[in-house]
């Protein structure tokens, strides 16, 4: 079965992916951000990642730094890899190890970890040797490295993996939901996806299974709906597990700002929460809306579209 890129961004099986893999889907050609914002960059950046907290990682000659929304390089090109800011800190790679910088570019937490995830609710999962634990913003390990895998905290809980089973801990490291699932994802809107064998469902914050599904794949909830894949077609369910938009699309992305990108054949368009196509299926590429705009492409024409489907900002072919 083809796995949707909507799902690839938030894998169901609890595996703490290397950060450099986790952001590949977010990489954007430098013209996408620079030109779309009418910026004139004086460096030919080869890759640019999404803005987060006012800064975006950019790559030049194999190294990374950060620009602000005026296009100014505010953190010099110097890192082997660099990820998005979260809670004021960003993961960076130096000499094969990961640490965290602040928004001045200063190394706030030494690059000493095999792998690292973003800060969430004041804590970040880090890999020490072959095991994962959690640090606070001073770099102090507050939950010792003991887990096979770990996810970020969300709604007070974080997924961890022990003996190939997934459960959830609280910020003190205490097990709240015992390891029992073959796969899981972080909580979103009070629910977390879980998998037992080939069976999918959702649990609440107490660990009670509140939705049981027969599906090939499911996504996390976003704006009250979650994508569901059945027999290579995708639709959406609500929080009762009811199918509210029947599986009919070849691929889908999560709802954001009231709309979701959907793929029919080889082209993309956008639907509203009733399932009605409100922006025609005509794009060769499309992503979710953010701040009223979404990147889309038709042949050589590309740029940001508004919610009427018109190009608000055109990006010349690169």
Where are the chain's structural domains?
Answer: 256-318
Taking residues 154-173, report their average pLDDT. Answer: 97
- Whether 247 shows a pLDDT value over 80: the answer reads yes
Determine what percent of the chain is predicted with pLDDT higher than 70: 81
pLDDT digit string (tens) for 174-197? 999 999 999 999 999 999 999 999
- Whether 30 shows a pLDDT value over 50: the answer reads no
Nearest-angstrom CA–CA distance, 56 and 27 = 10
| Alpha-carbon distance values, 162 to 61, 149, 181 (Å) | 40, 8, 10
Order of strands across the sheet with 165-169?
149-154, 157-162, 165-169, 175-181
Which residue's structure tokens are 């290397």? 18
Q: CB neighbours of 59 closer than 8 A, spacing ≥ 6?
A: 45, 46, 47, 48, 77
Taking residues 228-232, report their average pLDDT. Answer: 95
- Number of residues that make up the chain: 318
Q: Who wins on pLDDT, 41 or 301?
A: 301
Tokens of 259: 């709309």
Mean pLDDT estimate for the chain? 85
Burial annotation 142-153 (CB, 10 A radius, 16+ → b, else e): ebebebbbbbbb
Nearest-angstrom CA–CA distance, 32 and 313 = 10
The pTM is what? Answer: 0.77
Nearest-angstrom CA–CA distance, 268 and 249 = 10
pLDDT digit string (tens) for 91-138? 999 999 999 999 999 999 999 999 999 999 999 999 999 999 999 999
Q: For residue 43, what pLDDT is reported? A: 57
| Cβ contact 197:180 at 8 Å | no
Q: For residue 201, what pLDDT is reported? A: 95
Which residue's structure tokens are 């977390």? 192
């Amino acid at each position: 079965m083809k796995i949707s890129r909507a799902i690839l961004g938030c894998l169901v099986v609890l595996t703490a992916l290397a950060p450099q893999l986790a952001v590949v889907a977010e990489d954007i050609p430098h013209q996408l951000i620079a030109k779309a914002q009418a910026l004139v960059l004086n460096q030919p950046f080869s890759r640019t990642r999404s803005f987060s907290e006012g800064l975006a990682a950019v790559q030049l000659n194999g190294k990374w730094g950060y620009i602000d929304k005026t296009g100014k390089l505010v953190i010099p090109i110097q890192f082997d890899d660099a990820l998005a800011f979260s809670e004021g800190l960003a993961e960076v790679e130096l000499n094969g190890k990961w640490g965290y910088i602040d928004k001045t570019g200063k190394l706030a937490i030494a690059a000493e970890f095999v792998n690292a995830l973003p800060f969430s609710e004041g804590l970040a999962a880090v890999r020490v040797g072959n095991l994962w634990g959690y640090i606070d913003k001073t770099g102090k390990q507050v939950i010792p490295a003991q887990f096979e895998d770990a996810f970020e905290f969300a709604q007070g809980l974080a997924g961890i993996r022990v003996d190939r089973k997934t459960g959830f801990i609280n910020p003190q490291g205490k097990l709240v939901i015992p390891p029992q699932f073959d796969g899981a994802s972080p909580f979103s809107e009070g629910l977390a996806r879980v998998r037992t064998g080939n069976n999918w469902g959702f649990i609440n914050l107490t660990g009670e299974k509140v939705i049981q599904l027969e599906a090939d794949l499911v996504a996390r909830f976003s704006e009250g709906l979650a994508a569901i894949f059945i027999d290579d077609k995708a639709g959406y369910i609500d929080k009762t597990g009811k199918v509210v938009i029947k599986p009919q699309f070849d691929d889908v992305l999560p709802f954001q700002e009231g709309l979701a990108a959907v793929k029919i054949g080889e082209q993309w368009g956008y639907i509203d929460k009733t399932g009605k196509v409100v922006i025609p299926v005509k794009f060769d590429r499309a992503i979710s809306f953010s701040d009223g705009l979404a990147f889309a492409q038709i042949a050589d024409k590309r740029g940001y579209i508004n919610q009427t489907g018109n190009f608000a900002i055109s990006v010349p072919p690169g």
